[in-house]
Amino acid sequence: MARHLITSALPYINGIKHLGNMVGSMLPADVYSRYLRQRGHDVLYICATDEHGTPAELAAKEAGVPVEAFCAEQHDAQKAIYDGFQLAFDYFGRSSSAENREITQHFARKLQENGFIEERAIRQVFSVADDRFLPDRYIVGTCPHCGYDKARGDQCENCTRVLDPTDLIEPRSAISGSSELEVRETKHLFLLQSKLAGEVEAWIDATGEEWPQLASSIARKWLTEGLHDRSITRDLDWGVPVPADTWPELAAEGKVFYVWFDAPVEYIGATKEWADQDPANRDWKSWWYEADATVRYTEFMAKDNVPFHTVMFPATQLGTREPWKKVDYVKAFNWLNYYGGKFSTSQKRGVFTDAALELLPADYWRYFLIANAPESDDTSFSWEHFTATVNKDLADTLGNFVNRVLSFSRKRFGDAVPAGRAAGEAEAKLGAQTAELLAEYEGHMEALQFRKAAAALRALWSAGNSYLEEKAPWLEIKTDEEGAALTLRTAMNLIHLYAVVSEPFIPASAAAMRAAFALEGDTAVWVSAEEAKALDAVPAGTPFTVPPVLFAKITDDDLGAYKERFGGADA
């Protein structure tokens, strides 16, 4: 079996993330990781909070606490939410760790040794009111490309174009709001991406053919436009410091590395954190340094992160002239919007992950988000769509199936799985259909096509309902008790199968379904085609209980309250 290294975009430290952040990186990475583990692969899923850079400093300043304390508090708050969503990271680290500092500085030294870093005098924006040079994110203004009036000096979050602070129209300080800005000379380090462009292009040619179009098109767009040398240091108090043994003058000035230089390195740093905290863990270098051909590295991220992970970080790795593992597959996502517009913390518009868990169990959100993942284009969240999906797919199709099968069987046959006669034509047909749908589900999961995988999973659940309606054990029992018992035993085996294969999507509900059966030695991690056809994993006589309602329906009153609270379209 392959060894799968999986990373998702690092959530930034300055606040709780909205549902779009969840579906664009961490959640699909978790679903895929869970699936691969079930199939017997060796999986390492790494993530971390991205803690350096301007927004962290600004958020800490606004909160009135030291930036170190702010980041520690926010890391714990975010981790608690991800635990609530049952994201099964192997390790969730921090980019402010000693390990990341060590490896980031090592990368910089190697790039310097190999001639890919250059110290340059540049003219940089200086705020007279703040008496300091302003890093690019400390400058806000109007994007010259799309007209967005809150663009940052490094990137416009509206059109995703990469910017320099001097590109902005009507720039102002993000600290004081002052427009009293001057351009003065200072020194910074530049990564000579122009010298690495050919190597990056050759690597993408060799690797990127199998990437989704969204990821490959963004990477190639950057290559077509030309890779420019990029400043990788900033004037900040918080970040990975420039090492004094290599650049003493810049270190004395307090320069730190640009957050987009050290953040991707944190995937490696967090893996070292994982290994350092538990000596039983496999040597971290076997995943990242001279990793053998069995290691397959998959990254999950939204489209705005793609350029940095497909061009800038690979250039950094290539420039070290060391055998660092580079990504094999980039799963990129479009935006999840809220009623066609952006989520907004300031306007209290949209659903953020902490509020989502306050309202409803994680499985409601996990299923809906993956079933509607923005894979091919931007998608839009609406409470009407969410309600319809939860009520139809989860409550009616799956939850109702589980409840009525187990409740009816207990009422008529007691607290053990009934025997009945041997399987007949209807059961053989159901088994063949189940095996076919399971193979379809597996195929979509292997291809990282999450919406299609969700549709195949939903079809598996629907097959059980169709079988139950066809056999109608509530009528069958009046004239053929043995036949009704067979129908219910078969349906209970479907429930167990659903518990196993639904686990990547709805882990808590899957566990509840599985726990309904007191099945001794139930160690199944997946269901083979033969087992799907036979539907006999739960034998007659197995004790069972009826679990609480798996999925409560969302009412019209609930819908109205949610829209009013979170700023629905016509709220």
At 214, the pLDDT band (50, 70, 90 cuts) reads very high
Asked whether the predicted pLDDT for residue 321 surpasses 60, the reply is: yes
Q: Which of 97-106, 120-129, 163-172, 558-567 has the highest mean pLDDT?
A: 97-106
Q: Which residues are annotated as a binding site for Zn(2+)?
A: 143, 146, 156, 159
The percent of residues above 70 in pLDDT, for the chain, comes to 99
Q: Say how far apart CA 504 and CA 340 lie, in whole Å.
A: 28
Contact 546, 359 (CB under 8 A): no
Handedness of CA 186, 189, 191, 195 (dihedral sign): positive
- pLDDT tier, 381 (very low <50, low <70, confident <90, very high otherwise): very high
pLDDT digits (tens, 9 = 90+) for 113-131: 999 999 999 888 889 998 8
With a CB cutoff of 8 Å and minimum separation 6, the contacts of 484 are 412, 420, 471, 473, 476, 477
- What the block records as the tokens of 39 is 């199939």
In the CATH scheme, what is the homologous superfamily, with its name and number, of domain 3-106+259-362? HUPs (3.40.50.620)
Binding site as annotated, residues for ATP:
345
Q: What class has domain 116-252?
A: mainly beta
Provide the residue type at 506 as one letter: I
* Domain-wise residue ranges, the chain: 3-106+259-362, 116-252, 380-534
Higher pLDDT, 236 or 10: 10
Cβ count within 10 A of residue 555: 11
Span 494-546, pLDDT tens digits: 999 999 999 999 999 999 999 999 998 898 999 999 999 999 999 999 999 99
3-state SS, residue 76: helix
Whether residue 495 contacts residue 544, with contact meaning beta carbons closer than 8 Å, is answered with no
Question: What is the distance between the alpha carbons of residues 478 and 472, in angstroms, rounded to a whole number?
Answer: 11
Q: Which of 456, 548, 529, 537 is nearest to 490 (CA)?
A: 537
What is residue 54's predicted lDDT score, i.e. its pLDDT? 81
In whole angstroms, how far apart are CA 139 and each of 143, 191, 260? 12, 22, 17
Point out the least confidently predicted range of 163-177, 319-333, 472-486.
163-177
- Give the fold, CATH level 3, of 380-534: Isoleucyl-tRNA Synthetase; Domain 1 (1.10.730)
What pLDDT, on the 0 to 100 scale, is given for residue 343? 83
Residue in this structure with the two tokens 């679903």, named with its chain if needed? 31
Output the DSSP codes for 394-438. IIIIIIHHHHHHHHHHHHHH-SB----S---HHHHHHHHHHHHHH
pLDDT at 133: 84
- The C-alpha atoms of residue 185 and residue 126 are separated, in whole angstroms, by 9
The pLDDT score that the predictor gives to residue 571 is: 45
Q: What's the chain's average pLDDT?
A: 94
Q: Which helix (H) or strand (E) holds 121?
A: strand 117-127
Dump pLDDT digits (tens) for 255-308.
999 999 999 999 999 999 999 988 777 789 999 998 888 999 999 999 999 999
Q: Which residues are annotated as a binding site?
A: 143, 146, 156, 159, 345
State both tokens at 158.
Answer: 């509206």
Enumerate residues 6+ apart whose C-beta is below 8 A from 271. Answer: 44, 46, 91, 284, 287, 288
The edge-to-edge listing of strands for the beta sheet with 139-142 is 151-152, 139-142, 169-173
Which residue carries 């705020």 as its tokens?
127
Q: What is the pLDDT of residues 132-171, one digit of tens each?
A: 888 787 899 999 999 999 898 888 888 888 888 889 999 9
Instruction: Output the six-digit token pair for 181.
Output: 């800005």
Instruction: Give the model's pLDDT for residue 193.
Output: 96
Residues 6+ apart with CB under 8 A from 94: 48, 49, 51, 71, 75, 100, 266, 270, 273
Q: Residue 376: name the closest of 207, 503, 217, 206 by CA.
A: 217
pLDDT value for 346:
61
Nearby residues of 16 by Cβ (< 8 Å), 6 or more positions away = 77, 78, 81, 352, 353, 354
b/e per residue, 213-237, with b = 16+ CB within 10 A? ebbbebbbebbeeebebbbbbbbbe
- Report whether 329 contacts 210 (CB < 8 A): yes
In Å, how far from its chain's centre is CA 29? Answer: 5
Handedness of CA 151, 157, 159, 161 (dihedral sign): positive
User: Tokens for 177?
Assistant: 């709001």
Report the alpha-carbon distance of residue 209 to residue 216 in Å, rounded. Answer: 8
Q: What is the mean pLDDT of residues 377-387?
A: 95
Local confidence band at 433 (pLDDT 50, 70, 90 cut-offs): very high
| Residues in CB range of 509: below 8 A, 6 or more apart | 363, 394, 398, 502, 550, 551
173: enclosing H helix or E strand: strand 169-173
d(CA 205, CA 176) in angstroms, rounded, equals: 46
The pTM of the full predicted model, rounded to 2 decimals, is 0.92
Q: Is residue 40's pLDDT more than 60? A: yes
Residues 73 and 69: their CA atoms lie apart, in Å, by 6
Looking at residue 136, its pLDDT comes to 81
The larger pLDDT score, comparing residue 235 to residue 269, is at 269
pLDDT at 298: 98
Residue pLDDT, tens place only, 330-348: 999 999 999 988 887 666 7
Average pLDDT over residues 461-482: 96
